[in-house]
Structure 1
Amino acid sequence: MVIRSVRRERRLRTAAVALAAAALLAGCVDDDGDSSGSRAINVLMVDNPQMLEVRKLAAKHFTEETGIEVNFTVLSENEVREEISRHFASPAGPYDVATISNYEVPFYAKNKWLLPLDERAARDEEFDQDDILAPMRKSLTADDGRLYGEPFYGESSFLMYRKDVFAAQGLSMPARPTWKQVADLAAETDGTQPGMKGICLRGQPGWGEVIAPLTTVVNTFGGTWFTKDWKARLTSPAFESATGFYVDLVRKHGQSDAAESGYAECLKDFGKGKTAMWYDSTAAAGSLEAPGSLVRGKIGYAPAPVEKTDHSGWLYTWAWGVRKSSTRPDDAWEFISWASGKEYQRLVGRTSGWANVPAGTRASTYTNPDYRAAAAAFAEATRKSISSADPRNPGVQPRPAIGIQFVGIPEFSDLGTKVSNEISNAIAGAESVEEALRTSQSFAERVAEEYRER
């Protein structure tokens, strides 16, 4: 029996680096810019449970095997983005690696803040770049065709529904539901159990809250934020129709206090049996199917509803990127290769359970019998949702920037937040959809004008 030992290979690489270190002490620097000193890298990452697992496992399972120490800085999502924009722009920034999302990649790459990773990924056969799901690869590839990130965790969106509630009412979920069918089902299930509403949809302000699901509805209704030549289209018939539909649906059959409900609130309501359906992130399924969940085993999973497109699920990933001016690019890649690699997923499966594996990034995850057993209820639905997402062509017309539930430009975080406030006001009944979109159009026009002038 032949056994390929990952640890042995890494020890050999460590020995080779030790020999190189002697040359570095004599004043030599390798071609990739790694200069000598202790082998340590600084990693900035977002504060969530799966990332904290990386920090917990790194010392024993990465540093001991490679000799590379990892200094972690963990911050909230907003703080991480602010810290990256400050330090990745600096040639002397303190971080080598940071968690970035597919939202930032296009303009971080254009600003030359990130190191291209495609050549290193191609050389690292063990990493198996071809195993990364194609939509994830595309979302982390900039317009220059270079790869600038490796995904750690990924998600799309789908429709979750209570199978038992549907059965009791003699209802069935279509294999590929349309939004109009979903609205009819929401009306049918609204009030079927005490305190139960037909559907939960995000209404809370924020470009990552209400704007995320709403934009997928806009896309499949035939709308877009901007045309390819940077004309704002928030008052177009398609955008107005989609927004009016979304607001009307959540006002008629959605959760109470919808204008203040985001992902966390909908997760809580659906998990407590207060809504019959919920359209949101595929990541929610892990919590809903966890031991102790009141709805475990009662949920069905359907594709993101559509109208004019074949698919409409969003795409999001927390990924690893390397600062362009890092002096430890090889060690940085070694860390990424471990943290986003197949062996890391197996390690988490063994130590924390397969349901906790950071999924949504690799095809092999969804053929692994251990993972499929632990995530049987939602694994295949999640894989299909991610695999069908197209971040470059999410609608019916060409777009000026990559993105499904966002527009991949730095101004969108501010623009999306401003527009979200208007949409939330419409959901709360403080203004009409038409009024909300007229105001939003003026915000979008200012952004569009800047890009047309460029």
Structure 2
Amino acid sequence: MTRISKTTLACAVSMTAAISATSAFSATQITVATVNNGHMIEMQKFTPEFEKAHPDIKVKWVTLEEGVLRQNVTQDIANKSGLYDVMTIGMYEAPIWGERGWLEPIDTSGSYDVQDILPSIRGGLSYDGTMYAAPFYGESSMVMYRKDLVKAAGMEINDRDSWEHIRNVAAAVNDPSKGIYGICLRGKAGWGDNMALMTTMANSFGARWFDENWKPQLESAEWKNAVSFYVDLLTKYGPPGSSSNSFNESLALFNEGKCGMWIDATIAASFVTDPKQSKVADQVGFAQSPISVTEKGANWLWAWSLGIPAATKNVEAAQTFVRWATSKEYINLVGNKNGWAAVPTGTRASTYANPKFQEAAVFADAELKAINSANPSDSTLKPSPYVGVQFAAIPEFQAIGTTAGQMVSGALAGSLTVDQALKSANTSADRQMRQAGYY
């Protein structure tokens, strides 16, 4: 029997430990900050699939409520802290941060097939022709309506109806005694709440946030006409307490059969047509957003997307993850595992060309048409200096839009007149722009 000395054994143990340590630390860990919505939670469940395909990369998730996420990633990227290797951002942040050099350009080479990404989505996430965030799912806005109620009232809804026609339909189907309201729209204050809807309305009335010299235009006749129309429409034909309603509240009302029409995010279409969630699932029709004097900017555009901060020390691993999570292959993975009704939509043309998706999503054609019609680089009738449909992609807009949202919500609630609301919003915007040195 061979005898092994304690020294030899100790050396062997030491070498084994060293090899194990080397293996344990050979994988690069990336930290991904994301929002706590359904599609992102589902992506986390597929982490083992990614790590199996890329054993040299481990993924750590930081999942946050939307407001906290925005605050954390903005602070991290501005301070170049490098806490996150991948962060979930949107069309507001991507061009601003890309211009400032805060984000790595997305690697769109080879099999990624960047041309498959819908042009309006790709453009909204780019600065000077370079894409600085990759879209995970995208959305626009459109009309969702009760076909049974509209037909019973002897009315029709078609693509790009006038807002006047929409008001007439709302009046015809409005029946508060039966708990049915003509129209549901966002009223809750916020640049991403009521002002997302309000800005698309204002765009269609010919309004713009700023003129070519960055002077706020909120006291223009176009803004006054749009906000006055909106307040009158919801006051007469909307549900009680509309000034407190945003997406989730309106979704609940529509699914209960209480809204004749609802104009909101295309992402809602899969919910309102799901019999498990909606009492009126078999009666829902879709149409492109209404207009007043122009189609420009009549429906919004947004994409929750993955960006890579310039401060990361793991650029290559981060690029590998972003390319995987926003690829055609990932969409196919979700479709095959969870069903095609569950895939993230609004990003790639190949999704809409897939017969399996077309069969599962009755809203597919209307959603794609809305997304393709939105142009972040040309969203206003009069010339404007900013990129964005329902927002202006400048750092100051978040504060400006939030204040305007509070004023418009106040006008809807009746605590301010429309003129008072817009004057206050314009004064605040003017102060912000002066302080920022725009003029």
SS class of match (1:427): helix
Cα distance in 2 for partners of 1:325, 1:232 equals 34
Residue 51 of structure 2 corresponds to which residue in structure 1? 63
Residue 13 of structure 2 corresponds to which residue in structure 1? none
Structure 1 window deviating more from structure 2 (39-48 vs 168-177): it is: 168-177
Query: Which runs of 5 or more residues in structure 1 are unaligned?
Result: 1-24, 26-35
Q: Is the 8 A contact 1:419 1:440 kept in 2?
A: yes
Q: Is the 8 A contact 2:94 2:132 kept in 1?
A: yes
1:406 aligns with 2:391: yes
Cα distance in 2 for partners of 1:258, 1:95 equals 38
Equivalent AA in structure 2 for residue 251 of structure 1: T
Residue 440 of structure 1 corresponds to which residue in structure 2? 425
Residue 52 of structure 1 corresponds to which residue in structure 2? 41
Cα distance in 2 for partners of 1:288, 1:453 equals 44
Residue correspondence of structure 1 range 3-22 to structure 2 within 5 A: none
1:350 aligns with 2:356: no
Q: CA deviation at 1:398?
A: 2.0
Residue 316 of structure 2 corresponds to which residue in structure 1? 330
Residue 104 of structure 1 corresponds to which residue in structure 2? 93
1:299 aligns with 2:284: yes
Residue correspondence of structure 1 range 69-148 to structure 2 within 5 A: 69-117=58-106, 120-121=107-108, 123-124=109-110, 126-142=111-127, 144-148=128-132
1:169 aligns with 2:157: no
Q: CA deviation at 1:37?
A: 4.9
Query: Which string of whole-angstrom CA distances, capped at 9 and with x for unpartnered residues, describes residues 260-307 of structure 1?
Result: 111111111111111100111001111111132211121110001112
Residue correspondence of structure 1 range 194-213 to structure 2 within 5 A: 194-213=178-197
Q: CA deviation at 1:181?
A: 0.8
SS class of match (2:41): helix
SS class of match (2:186): coil
Cα distance in 1 for partners of 2:170, 2:392 equals 30
Identity of aligned residues (%): 38
SS class of match (1:240): helix
Distance 1:192 1:439, change over 3 A: closer
Query: Which runs of 5 or more residues in structure 2 are unaligned?
Result: 1-21
Residue correspondence of structure 1 range 238-277 to structure 2 within 5 A: 238-277=222-261
1:430 aligns with 2:418: no
Q: Is the 8 A contact 1:190 1:253 kept in 2?
A: yes
Equivalent AA in structure 2 for residue 374 of structure 1: A
1:415 aligns with 2:400: yes
Cα distance in 1 for partners of 2:148, 2:171 equals 16
Cα distance in 1 for partners of 2:208, 2:47 equals 43
Q: Is the 8 A contact 1:182 1:305 kept in 2?
A: yes
SS class of match (1:109): helix
Cα distance in 2 for partners of 1:175, 1:233 equals 29
SS class of match (1:414): helix
Cα distance in 2 for partners of 1:106, 1:227 equals 20
Q: Is the 8 A contact 1:203 1:259 kept in 2?
A: yes
Equivalent AA in structure 2 for residue 230 of structure 1: W
Q: Is the 8 A contact 2:159 2:290 kept in 1?
A: no
Query: Which string of whole-angstrom CA distances, capped at 9 and with x for unpartnered residues, describes residues 343-394 of structure 1?
Result: 1111111222211100000001111111111102x11000000011001111
Cα distance in 2 for partners of 1:388, 1:193 equals 38
Cα distance in 1 for partners of 2:81, 2:410 equals 44
Aligned residue-pair number: 414
1:160 aligns with 2:149: no
Q: Is the 8 A contact 1:230 1:452 kept in 2?
A: no
Q: Is the 8 A contact 1:392 1:399 kept in 2?
A: no
Cα distance in 1 for partners of 2:91, 2:226 equals 25
Cα distance in 2 for partners of 1:252, 1:290 equals 29
Q: Which has the larger radius of gyration?
A: 2
Q: Deviating runs (4+, > 3 A) in structure 1?
A: 450-454
Q: CA deviation at 1:231?
A: 1.0
Query: Which string of whole-angstrom CA distances, capped at 9 and with x for unpartnered residues, describes residues 320-345 of structure 1?
Result: 10011222212111111110111111
Equivalent AA in structure 2 for residue 288 of structure 1: V
Q: CA deviation at 1:447?
A: 2.3
